[in-house]
Amino acid sequence: MKGVKKESAIFILLFLFLSLAMHFGAWMNYPLLHIESLPKSQLGIWHPFYITLLVYLFVLFLRFLLKVVKKLFT
């Protein structure tokens, strides 16, 4: 259960970081309007989760690769 909490926290923090990094101006100037406009987005209403999932899987792959490399040299 500890691992699930850790991975969930990583996903949520990644989601927040990516959403702020990609749309900083919109989040600072008109956050509610920005959220309300998600259904009208060209990428679809769920695009923030799709993008976060892709980045999370990439980070997970890098973490796995780093773990394997560490084992090779220890």
- The number of folded domains in the chain is 1
The continuous run of DSSP H or E covering 68 comes out as helix 47-72
What is the domain range of residue 25?
2-72
**This prediction's pTM:** 0.85
Q: What digits encode the pLDDT tens for the residues 40-58?
A: 989 999 999 999 999 999 9
Q: What digits encode the pLDDT tens for the residues 21-41?
A: 999 999 899 999 999 998 998
Q: Per mean pLDDT, which range of 1-5, 54-58, 62-66 is the poorest?
A: 1-5
On whether the CB atoms of residues 14 and 54 are closer than 8 A, the answer is no
